[in-house]
Structure 1
């Protein structure tokens, strides 16, 4: 026999009554309980978490002298909601030393280490009141404080003294004149030391590192330090763009004290020089007048020098058109080697030295002159070409004979690029009557 509805209701509830009435009572009870639960949740939601809590600073005594023993203390704190945070220390006179000041923080847990340095300098020995303070967007403030003792602190400052740059304006383009700047300073204490250039107009504040001259002193050692700055052109690197730069010297000692000193340096006409003997599309790079020379006559040549680089190249004499005897060289004509100067040279298999016959890289009308430190110098401008020609009078039969002659473009005391060495060799016979 199937049980009826009242019987089933009585088994389920333990009450003998109309099942519909019982359901109504049950639903009413559930509704009342739900309202009470919602109220509890709403009350819980109205209670905000504490703004600043679980604040610690340990240990409460430090000896910041870089000996590895209690040099720092650890600060921890929690924020229940977004706030601006300050951490500061009050000395015995009540002077405030800010470690963090009004810095925005999101809710969460934080930790930071403190080694006694405020604004790049070590606080002196003493007892300090530390204060951690938070202020939320509604202006509510919470503050926790305690005591910190600083003892045996290393307060000797890594002072940078006598920062100088000479010359204050230089032209790093490997012309042998004002190519380098010497930066000098005195460091009062062992510290990590770096020197770099920064363009104050550069929003990215790109740093150009300056390497210290090796062998004078150990890096970061107390005493005088010197930096020989070529802006990178000696290694074939493009220098920083022309302009006036801050020279920044920065020293950081073992306990975190920091000193920064600045001066200025101006770069003008900086760049890696680039030139070559031009190879025309319809002829030879070197135009020789003949491949047979009667003893007593001259072997002549003509080349074109192309300055395709970003900077002018300096040159020296003798001028194009000069005639050498085969027993002469540039020294005998009074035009010795000049570091940084460019010249066209001719060499042969019989030559006793490298390119003994040399000429300026252009005619006087193609060159410009400049007065530097009271001396007159000659340049082939950037983007310009110079015509070079000259002759060698053959006065004695060479060994071997016949022999090769060739041209080169020499950057004196710097080198000869492969493309400018041994250019367009010509096999020449010296005819002896």
Structure 2
């Protein structure tokens, strides 16, 4: 097939190889996807253009936590599609207020600021923290700083990559935005030393997802909370990946007994249908914003709010949190059985696992390629690490099947 010109009528007969070739020739190479072309999905399963089925153990980085084509979420989307999908924030609409109130009640915060992507939520949190620092704390204009953790991942906007230490995300995109100080994740003393009179916030992932599902040391987040309270600094928890039942609780922070001043949510909030994110805080924090100081044409649109309300309603029952907790114990037990058999470390909380592959065996990417051959879709990170995060609707036997496929993949490389 020639790819010099492509019209819509040419697309129906394309093979998997044709699709991949088109992508390689006409799309910017900002990803290196596995060689599979998905055409449909249902629950935990995805089907490619050749009719092969795969168990999805990535969930689009938790964005499809409730499974592909979840009927309750789709029903909310269909109903809203027939009414109105976008008004802009120049007007009220009948989904906005209820969405903000219901989401706030779910996480215990008074106010919500809906946006679209996780990165937008992070950028919004940064702006709110700076505004709060100048207006409430009394930091001199232009002097605010925010303390972050090394090996973080908060998105890929220009500001966010300015405090990333991932060379792929950062190198070649300067000049960088000032005002950030990075300290080792888990080192409370380094964090304490980095905070000064001009610090307005500490921004952390309670569990570092992109870094490989890195769990915080015992007592670390409690100490972060204490330091922020003592120094009059906002504690911002980026729960874009870890939040909304992924770890067996509504929010990962709950495992550690801490309540941040601000939550950043996204991914699962859109039910795998539309991008939905939100910043949640009490009125003394989010109340610093005034009309015109921040906004988004699509943020909080009727379709997004309707989908988000369906997700919040599902989470309000606690069913998905409990599924993630129980199945997470099963996942951890099965993965632990592979230690010394191709895996060197397993980190798991709920249905979220980071597993380190023995370098003598191969890379995380090579394991993912073998998993693909065995009918399982997963994603590597940072060379030797594999991440597993299946939809929360996965069944126990499907979870066992995925781990069996991982065992077979490791055996293939031995």
Instruction: Give the number of the structure whose alpha-carbon radius of gyration is greater.
Output: 1
Determine if the TM-score, normalized by the shorter chain, exceeds 0.5: no
| Structure 1 or 2: more strand by fraction | 1
Give the TM-score taking structure 1 as reference length.
0.18
Q: Which structure is richer in relative contact order (CA contacts within 8 A, separation 6 or more)?
A: 2
Give the TM-score taking structure 2 as reference length.
0.19
